[in-house]
Structure 1
Amino acid sequence: MDGRIRPSVGRGTVLDVAELPDVATLLDAAVRAVGGSRREGQVAMADAVAAAVDTDEHLVVQAGTGTGKSLAYLVPALRHAIAEDTTVVVSTATIALQRQLIDRDLPRLAPALAPLLGREPTFAILKGRRNYLCKQRLHAAGSEPDEAELFDPRAVSSLGRQVQRLHEWAEETDSGDRDQLVPGVSDLAWRQVSVAANECVGATVCAFGHECFAEQAREDAGDVDVVVTNHALLAIDAMQGYHILPEHRVLLVDEAHDLVDRVTSVATGVLSERAVSIAAKRAARLVEAGLTERLGEAGDGLALMFTDSEPGRLDHIPDPLAGAVAAVRDAARACVGAVGPADTADPEGATVRRLALAALNEVHDAAVRVLESYEPPLRDRTDVVWLAKSPKQPPSLHVAPLAVGGLLREKLFGDRTTVLTSATLALGGSFSALAVQWGLGRETTGEPAAPRTGRAKRTAPEPAAAEPAAAEGAAGADEAAPAADLTAAGEPRWKGLDVGSPFDHGRSGILYVAKHLPPPGRDGLDPRYLDEIAELIDAAGGRALGLFSSMRAAAQAAEELRERVEPPILCQGDDSTGQLVRRFAEDDPTCLFGTLSLWQGVDVPGPALQLVIVDRIPFPRPDDPLASARQRAVGAGGGNGFMAVAATHAALLLAQGTGRLLRSMDDRGVVAVLDPRLATARYGGFLRASLPPYWATADPEVARAALRRLDAAAAAPMASAG
C-alpha cells in the first residue's frame, strides 16, 4: 500500500454539520471497528477537539498512553472535513506514527464511518520533496560527480551499485517514496536521485514534470479529507513559503512535545567546507573558472579557520573567522550572479542551474546569517552561533534561533485552529512551559470564542512553477475562514486539557529512586551504579530497557555487565535501532541499553519489558550551545533559565522515557531512576510532577522484590507450557 486513497464519489458537497451524527456516535463506530472499548478520556478528548474546531480556539491535550488519542482527534477531524468539504492536516514527528495512521488507523476508520458520513473519507501522506525519487535527477545520476568525489574512492563503487538499484526500482515503484524501498540505500546514494524543494525547477519546466512522484503526492493530498505529514515539512510549508500542503484551517499536531526541536532544526543554517566545495563544483559548469576557484579558495580558508578555532558557542566571532565567512559570502554571491536565471527552454540545463543555485544560495545565506547575528548587542540577539567539531563529522558552523515561539505564533497559529497533543505535555503539572516555547502565552480564561461562520473550502493545489516560492496560492476573502481569535494581549486563544490515562499507574508501576547512591559524576558510571543495575537485572530476570544520558555510559554499562549478569544485553550501535528493538521484544530475558533515540518511540508491551532503568536526569549538556544560550537569554529577561530550559528539557525526556514501561493494560513493572537528585534536589518536585503517577519508593529491596515477583509470574506460563 502506498498510503494514498483516491477520492471517492460524492465529494464536493458541503453539508450542514447538523446533518451528520454527533462525535460520540461516530467515535463509538470507530472504536468498534478497531476492536476497542469506550474510554472516558478518549471521549473527552474527541469532544474537546470538536469544540476547538467549532470555536476557532487552539487546544492543548495531554492524553496518556492507552487513551487512544489518534481516534480521538481523527474522528472529529473527518467529520469536520466532510461537513465542510475541506482538508484537515495531521502532523507527526516520527515515521512510526505516520505509518500507524496511514497503514492502520485511517484504513480501518474510513469504511467504518462511511455509512454514517455519507461517503468514505479519503486520506493521503505527504512528505518533503527529498523523500521522493526525482526522475530528472535519476536521469542525470552519474553525470554529476560533485558529491561522490568528496568521499573515499572505495565508497564510490558501492555508491554506483546503489544508484543502479535505484534505477531498477524506479521502473517498478508507483510512489517513488523512499520508505517503500526495502532494503534501503545510504543517504549519499539517495541524494543522487532526489532533490530538495529549493533544487526543483518545477513541474512546468522539468522534462519529467508530468510523471513526478512528488507532484503526484501533492496532487493526491490536495483533494482528500486528511493529509498526514511531519513536523519538518509543516515548518517548511509555514515558514519558507513553499506552500506544499493544501489549504487548511484545522491542524492537528501529534507528538507535539517534539515540535519546537523539529522547527528549530528546519530554521538552523549550516556552513561547512564541504558545502562550499559542493557549491563550487556545481557552479563550475556554468561560470568562469576564476569565480569557482575563488569560492573554492574561500572554502579552504574557512576550513583552516575551523582548524584553529575551539568548538562550542561563539558569542563573539574572531576577526580571522569573520573574514573567512565573509569571503565565502562574497564569492558565493558572485557565482550566483554569474549563473543567472534558468532557461525554461532547456529543461536539462535548467536543472543544472537550479542545483547550482540551491547550493550557492544555501552557502551564501548561511554566511550572511552568521555575520548578521553578531550585529546587535549580545542581549538583543535572536540567533546563536556555534562551531561543531567531532572525530566523525567535519567541522561546521551553525546558526539557529534562540526561540521559535514567535515564528510559530505568526506562521502556524495565526490563521488556523491548531490542536496540539501528546502523552507528555503537562510538565511540572502544567502546560505553561511548553506553551511559552510554542508562543501561545497564557491559557485563555473565560468564555470561548463564538463559532466560526466562514468555511475553508477545499481548493486544488497550485501548479508548481519554475520558482517554488511562486507557487503560493491564497483563498479568496469570501472563502477564507477567520483566523483563530486573539486574547486582549495579542496572544492566540487556547485551552488546556489533561484527559489522563486508562492505566492505573499507582497499581501497575513502581517509581524507584535510588536515593542512597551518590550524585552522578562526569567520569563514567560510578561502580555503585553498575552494582545497582546488576542487582535490578538479576531480580527482573532481564526484561530491562536501560536509558542512558550518553552513548559512552550505555556502552560502558553493556560491556561491564555482560560479564556479571546472565540475561543477554544488547547495546545501541550493535545493529540498527529497529532490529535491536525487535530482538529485545521477541526474547523476554534480553536487555537493551541505549541513549536518546530509545527514550521515545520504543513500544514493547508485555513481559519483555518490565524494568526501565534511567542512569541520570537527562539535563542538556552544560556545553550544549543552543540550550545554554537559551538558558542565558531567559535569565537576562528576568526568568529562571535553568527551570525554563534545562529542567523543562529533562522533564520532557523523563516523562517520555518512563512512559516506555506501561504500553498495555496488562503491563506491570518498575522504573528505576539511579540519580538521587530526583528525590533530593529542589527541582525534583517539578520533575516528579511531570511523570506518570507511579507508586514511589526509595527502598531498593522493595523494588527488587517486586521485580522478582513479576519475573516469576512471567516465567510460570512458559514453565507450564514446557
Structure 2
Amino acid sequence: MPAEISTLQKPRELPGVRELLTDAVEAVGGTERDGQVRMAEAVGRAIRTGEHLAVQAGTGTGKSLAYLVPAIRHAVEGHTTVVVSTATIALQNQLVDRDLPRLAKALKKPLGREPTFAILKGRRNYLCMHRVHSGAPEEPEDSGLFDAFAVSRIGREVKRLHEWSSETETGDRTELVPGVSEQAWRQVSVSARECLGAARCPVGDDCFAEKARADAGRVDVIVTNHALLAIDALQEQRVLPEHDLVVIDEAHELVDRVTSAATAELTASAVSAATRRCGRIIDADTSDRLLEAGEGLALVLDDLPAERLDTLPHALGGAVTVVRDAAHACLTALGGERKEDVEEATARKLARSAVEEIHDTAVRLLDAFDADQANRPDVVWISKDTYSSSPRPPSLHVAPLAVGGLLRERVFARSTTVLTSATLALGGRFDTLARQWGLPPEPTSAPADDGTATDKPAPADDADDGLRWSGLDVGSPFDYGRNGILYVAKHLPPPGRDGLGDATLDEIAALIDAAGGRTLGLFSSMRAAKRAAEELRERLPYDILCQGDDSTSTLVSQFADEPRTCLFGTLSLWQGVDVPGPSLQLVIVDRLPFPRPDDPVASARQRAIEARGGNGFLTVAATHAALLLAQGAGRLHRSSSDRGVVAVLDSRLATARYGGFLRASIPPFWPTQDPAVARDALTRLDAAAPGRASTSTALR
C-alpha cells in the first residue's frame, strides 16, 4: 500500500535546464549562445549545491534568460519563490514587461503550468489610500513654504494624484505618466515606519502596498531592487516573502546601493518637522525642548566646514547629544500604541516615526566615534550645498564603512545567491568584489556533475566554511579584438586639477572630426563636460549635446536618432546609455574615473584599510575606477555589428603601475597608443557608416 501511494503521489519530473533554455530561446526568437548555456547550467548547479555563484556575462550573452530559466524551474519544482534584484528601473521594467511575460508563455507547456511573477518595491513607492482620504498631516517642504508658485504647483500635482487614485489598480508611482515631484508624492504616500498597519488602517483592505506584498508571496518570481533587498537585510522584520534563491543582476552596483540604503542624515529642518508632527500630542515643554535642540544643531553646523569627520568636534558632539536626549524625551511622552480614533492614531504614528528616526540617527552618529580608526563601523561627514540656486541647509551624514558583514549574515547565509553583471571580474579576478560582498576571498570549486536531487553539503560549524562560492566568466559573443580598438593617449600629459588642458581638447576635436560626430564623451566631472561642449561647439560642425541641456532620456534619444551628433556627460552616462548602430562609434574617456579625493565614504574606507595594513588605494580607488571604466567602455558594443574606438585620454592607463589592473577589467579590445591609427580607423568607419552596406569594414 505505501508503495502504491508513493507511485500515485510521485511528482511530475520537469525537463532539465538545458532543454528548457532551448524551448525559451526558440519561443522568443533568439539564438542559443554558448555563454548563455554555460551560465544557465552553472546557475542550475548552484541551486542544487547551495553554493553561491558570481557570473560575469558580457553584453549580448542573454544573461536574463540564462538565470531566469533555472530560477523558474526551481520555483515550480520546489513550490517556492525566487527573488530577482536589479539596480535600475530600466532592467526591472524590461524583466516584468518583456522578458518574463514571454518566458512564462514559452515555459507553460514543458513545466505543466504558466509561471507567475510580480514586481515588489518599497512601501513609499505605492499610493496610500488613507493619506489620500485623510489628507497630508503636514505642510509642504520648507523650501516651498514661501514660494507661491511652488505651493500651487504641488497643490495641482496632489489634486491630480487624488484623481488618479480612483483609476489606478496598482497604486505604483511608475505607472503615473507624467510623474509628479517628490514633495507632492510624499503627501499621498507613507514609509514603513509611518504606516498604521493593515489591521488598524481604516482602508487597510484596499492597501496597494499590502496587495503587492500579498501578490508577491504567491508568485514564482519576485522582481525587486537592491535598495529593498538592503532594507530586507537591515530590518528585523522581513520585507520580502520567504525565499531560498536570490539572483542579483547588475551586481557591480550592489555595494553602493546597499551603502546608500544604510546611510542616514540628520538636519535641523528634519528635527523641526518632527517637532511639528508632535503637535498637540505631547506637552509643549517637551516638544519645545526638541525644537531648541534642532536650532542649536543648526548653529553648530553653520560654523563647521563641509568635510569628513575623523574626530567629533566638541560643540557638535554636544549638539547631537542634546538632540538625542530631547528626542528620547519626546518618544517617552508619545508612548506606545493605545486605544484612540484613527485620526489620533495616525498623528501619533507619524510623530513617533519622525522622532524615532531623529533619535536613532543621533545615537548612531555618537556611537560612530567609539572605536579606533581601523575598526569604526561608520563614517560621518558634513555636507553643504552652497552653489545651487536653492541651496539646502547643512546636514550631518552617517554611512557604513563596509557592508560585507551585513550581506554575509543577512543575504548569503539565508539564501543561495547568484550575482551577475557584465562587469565583475576586475583585473581578471572575482576576489576584489567578493571581499566587498562579504564572501571569502578565494572561491571554492562547484561540483561538475549534474546530481539528481541535491548536492548540498552538510551544514558546517565554521560560518566562513558555510559560505562556498564559485566564479565564472562566460565571455561575450562579441569579437572585441576585431571590432574594437582601445586607444590610450600615452603622449598626453597626466590630467591635473585644473580640468581639461588644451592638448586634451585638441585630441578630442581630432578624434570627433575623424569619427564624423558619432561620439559619446564620458567625463569625470560636469564642469569638464560643459567646458568641452562649449569649446568644441565653436570648433566642430557637429551638434554637441551636453547632459543638463534636457532630460537625460531625451538627450540619449536624440543622440541615437541623429548619427552625426555627440553626447557629453558624466556619471549616469557611463552606465545608462544603450545605443547600438552607427550613432555611436567613438567613446571618449577624459580621465580615469577615480573617486573624488574629498568623497567621504571612499576616503574613509581607504584609510580604514590602510590602518589595517592593506592597500587602500587599490582596494577602494582603483576598484571604483575599474568598475566605471569597464562600464563606460561597454557602451561601445551593444550589438554584434557594432564597431568603433574607445579612447582613454589619461596617459596613466599606460604608464601607472595600476594600469594593468584597469586594462584587465575592460573588454579585450585591440590596443594602440598611436593617435593616427585611432583616427584612421574612425575615418574608415565614418565612410562606411551611412549605408551600413559593408559591415565587415576593417578597423586595422
Q: Show the 5 A alignment for 1:600-679.
A: 600-679=575-654
Instruction: Determine the C-alpha separation between the residues in 1 that align with 2:468 and 2:403.
Output: 18
Structure 1, residues 194-224: CA drift from partner, whole Å, max 9, x if none?
A: 1111111110011110001101110110000
Residue in 2 aligned with 1:550?
Answer: 525
For the structure 1 residues 99 and 329, does the alpha-carbon distance in structure 2 shift closer, same or farther, using more than 3 Å as the test? same
Greater shift, 570-579 or 177-186, is seen at: 570-579
Instruction: Determine the C-alpha separation between the residues in 1 that align with 2:579 and 2:431.
Output: 31
Asked if the contact 2:490–2:673 (Cα under 8 Å) also holds between the matched residues in 1, the reply is yes
Residue 168 (str. 1) matches residue 163 (str. 2)? yes
Q: Secondary structure at the match of 2:83?
A: strand
The Cα shift of 1:452 comes to 10
Choose from 350, 359, 368 the match for 1:364: 359
Structure 1, residues 688-717: CA drift from partner, whole Å, max 9, x if none?
A: 000000001111111111111111111235
Residue in 2 aligned with 1:93?
Answer: 87
Residue 75 (str. 1) matches residue 69 (str. 2)? yes
Q: State the one-letter code of the partner of 2:653.
A: L
Instruction: Determine the C-alpha separation between the residues in 2 that align with 1:14 and 1:315.
Output: 64
For the structure 1 residues 507 and 262, does the alpha-carbon distance in structure 2 shift closer, same or farther, using more than 3 Å as the test? same
Instruction: Determine the C-alpha separation between the residues in 2 that align with 1:61 and 1:130.
Output: 32
Structure 1, residues 260-289: CA drift from partner, whole Å, max 9, x if none?
A: 011111111111112111111111231122
Q: State the one-letter code of the partner of 2:226.
A: H
Asked if the contact 1:126–1:217 (Cα under 8 Å) also holds between the matched residues in 2, the reply is yes
Structure 1, residues 122-174: CA drift from partner, whole Å, max 9, x if none?
A: 00000000100111112233552163576442211111011001001111111
The Cα shift of 1:484 comes to 7.7
Instruction: Determine the C-alpha separation between the residues in 2 that align with 1:221 and 1:104.
Output: 18
Structure 1, residues 29-71: CA drift from partner, whole Å, max 9, x if none?
A: 1111221101000000000000000011000000000000000
The Cα shift of 1:332 comes to 1.1
Instruction: Determine the C-alpha separation between the residues in 2 that align with 1:59 and 1:44.
Output: 13
Instruction: Determine the C-alpha separation between the residues in 1 that align with 2:452 and 2:436.
Output: 27
For the structure 1 residues 454 and 363, does the alpha-carbon distance in structure 2 shift closer, same or farther, using more than 3 Å as the test? farther
Instruction: Determine the C-alpha separation between the residues in 2 that align with 1:540 and 1:483.
Output: 59
Structure 1, residues 348-395: CA drift from partner, whole Å, max 9, x if none?
A: 222211111111111111111111111222333121111111224321
For the structure 1 residues 557 and 447, does the alpha-carbon distance in structure 2 shift closer, same or farther, using more than 3 Å as the test? closer
Residue in 1 aligned with 2:60?
Answer: 66
Q: State the one-letter code of the partner of 2:285.
A: G
The Cα shift of 1:446 comes to 4.8
Structure 1, residues 311-349: CA drift from partner, whole Å, max 9, x if none?
A: 111011111111111111111111111112234552222
Choose from 212, 227, 232 the match for 2:207: 212
Q: Secondary structure at the match of 2:690?
A: helix
Instruction: Determine the C-alpha separation between the residues in 2 that align with 1:557 and 1:84.
Output: 56
Asked if the contact 1:484–1:493 (Cα under 8 Å) also holds between the matched residues in 2, the reply is no
Greater shift, 350-359 or 642-651, is seen at: 350-359
Asked if the contact 1:617–1:650 (Cα under 8 Å) also holds between the matched residues in 2, the reply is yes
Q: Show the 5 A alignment for 1:480-629.
A: 489-490=464-465, 492-629=467-604
Q: Structure 2: where are the runs of 5+ without partners?
A: 1-7, 695-700
Instruction: Determine the C-alpha separation between the residues in 2 that align with 1:27 and 1:254.
Output: 19
- Normalised to the residue count of structure 2, the TM-score between the two structures is 0.94
Instruction: Determine the C-alpha separation between the residues in 2 that align with 1:716 and 1:544.
Output: 18
Choose from 635, 640, 658 the match for 1:683: 658
Q: Secondary structure at the match of 1:91?
A: strand
For the structure 1 residues 486 and 31, does the alpha-carbon distance in structure 2 shift closer, same or farther, using more than 3 Å as the test? farther
Asked if the contact 1:56–1:449 (Cα under 8 Å) also holds between the matched residues in 2, the reply is no
Asked if the contact 2:140–2:183 (Cα under 8 Å) also holds between the matched residues in 1, the reply is no
Residue 696 (str. 1) matches residue 671 (str. 2)? yes
Structure 1, residues 568-621: CA drift from partner, whole Å, max 9, x if none?
A: 111111111111111111111111111111111211111111111101000011
Asked if the contact 2:233–2:406 (Cα under 8 Å) also holds between the matched residues in 1, the reply is no
Residue in 2 aligned with 1:416?
Answer: 415
Q: Secondary structure at the match of 1:62?
A: strand
Instruction: Determine the C-alpha separation between the residues in 1 that align with 2:447 and 2:267.
Output: 49
For the structure 1 residues 718 and 49, does the alpha-carbon distance in structure 2 shift closer, same or farther, using more than 3 Å as the test? closer
Instruction: Determine the C-alpha separation between the residues in 1 that align with 2:545 and 2:190.
Output: 37
Choose from 277, 285, 290 the match for 2:280: 285
Instruction: Determine the C-alpha separation between the residues in 1 that align with 2:445 and 2:470.
Output: 10
Asked if the contact 1:272–1:397 (Cα under 8 Å) also holds between the matched residues in 2, the reply is yes
Instruction: Determine the C-alpha separation between the residues in 1 that align with 2:445 and 2:204.
Output: 52
Q: State the one-letter code of the partner of 1:616.
A: R
Asked if the contact 2:542–2:564 (Cα under 8 Å) also holds between the matched residues in 1, the reply is yes
Asked if the contact 2:512–2:518 (Cα under 8 Å) also holds between the matched residues in 1, the reply is yes
Structure 1, residues 467-509: CA drift from partner, whole Å, max 9, x if none?
A: xxxxxxxxxxxxxx99986878546100000000000000111
Asked if the contact 1:600–1:656 (Cα under 8 Å) also holds between the matched residues in 2, the reply is yes
Residue in 2 aligned with 1:233?
Answer: 228
Choose from 261, 267, 279 the match for 2:262: 267
For the structure 1 residues 485 and 579, does the alpha-carbon distance in structure 2 shift closer, same or farther, using more than 3 Å as the test? farther
Asked if the contact 2:49–2:457 (Cα under 8 Å) also holds between the matched residues in 1, the reply is no
Instruction: Determine the C-alpha separation between the residues in 2 that align with 1:525 and 1:447.
Output: 48
Choose from 115, 130, 137 the match for 2:124: 130
Residue in 2 aligned with 1:159?
Answer: 154
Residue in 2 aligned with 1:307?
Answer: 302
Q: Secondary structure at the match of 2:201?
A: coil
Q: Secondary structure at the match of 2:55?
A: strand
Instruction: Determine the C-alpha separation between the residues in 2 that align with 1:484 and 1:581.
Output: 50
Instruction: Determine the C-alpha separation between the residues in 2 that align with 1:701 and 1:14.
Output: 72
Greater shift, 115-124 or 137-146, is seen at: 137-146
Choose from 302, 313, 316 the match for 1:318: 313
- Normalised to the residue count of structure 1, the TM-score between the two structures is 0.91
Residue in 2 aligned with 1:435?
Answer: 434
For the structure 1 residues 424 and 285, does the alpha-carbon distance in structure 2 shift closer, same or farther, using more than 3 Å as the test? same
Residue 30 (str. 1) matches residue 27 (str. 2)? no
Asked if the contact 1:92–1:230 (Cα under 8 Å) also holds between the matched residues in 2, the reply is yes
Greater shift, 262-271 or 44-53, is seen at: 262-271
For the structure 1 residues 14 and 29, does the alpha-carbon distance in structure 2 shift closer, same or farther, using more than 3 Å as the test? farther
Residue in 1 aligned with 2:697?
Answer: none
For the structure 1 residues 273 and 507, does the alpha-carbon distance in structure 2 shift closer, same or farther, using more than 3 Å as the test? same
Asked if the contact 2:385–2:393 (Cα under 8 Å) also holds between the matched residues in 1, the reply is yes
Asked if the contact 1:631–1:644 (Cα under 8 Å) also holds between the matched residues in 2, the reply is yes
Residue in 1 aligned with 2:37?
Answer: 43
Q: CA RMSD in A?
A: 2.1
Residue in 1 aligned with 2:292?
Answer: 297
Choose from 187, 194, 198 the match for 1:203: 198
Q: Secondary structure at the match of 2:199?
A: coil
Choose from 107, 114, 117 the match for 2:108: 114
Q: Show the 5 A alignment for 1:318-397.
A: 318-343=313-338, 345-391=340-386, 392-397=391-396
Asked if the contact 1:414–1:483 (Cα under 8 Å) also holds between the matched residues in 2, the reply is no
Instruction: Determine the C-alpha separation between the residues in 1 that align with 2:31 and 2:448.
Output: 33
Asked if the contact 1:441–1:491 (Cα under 8 Å) also holds between the matched residues in 2, the reply is no
Asked if the contact 2:227–2:261 (Cα under 8 Å) also holds between the matched residues in 1, the reply is yes
Q: Secondary structure at the match of 2:53?
A: strand
Q: State the one-letter code of the partner of 1:561.
A: L
Asked if the contact 2:233–2:411 (Cα under 8 Å) also holds between the matched residues in 1, the reply is yes
Asked if the contact 1:56–1:483 (Cα under 8 Å) also holds between the matched residues in 2, the reply is no
The Cα shift of 1:447 comes to 6.1
Q: State the one-letter code of the partner of 2:371.
A: P
For the structure 1 residues 483 and 151, does the alpha-carbon distance in structure 2 shift closer, same or farther, using more than 3 Å as the test? farther
Instruction: Determine the C-alpha separation between the residues in 2 that align with 1:93 and 1:616.
Output: 25
Asked if the contact 1:415–1:482 (Cα under 8 Å) also holds between the matched residues in 2, the reply is no
For the structure 1 residues 486 and 599, does the alpha-carbon distance in structure 2 shift closer, same or farther, using more than 3 Å as the test? farther
Instruction: Determine the C-alpha separation between the residues in 2 that align with 1:286 and 1:169.
Output: 32
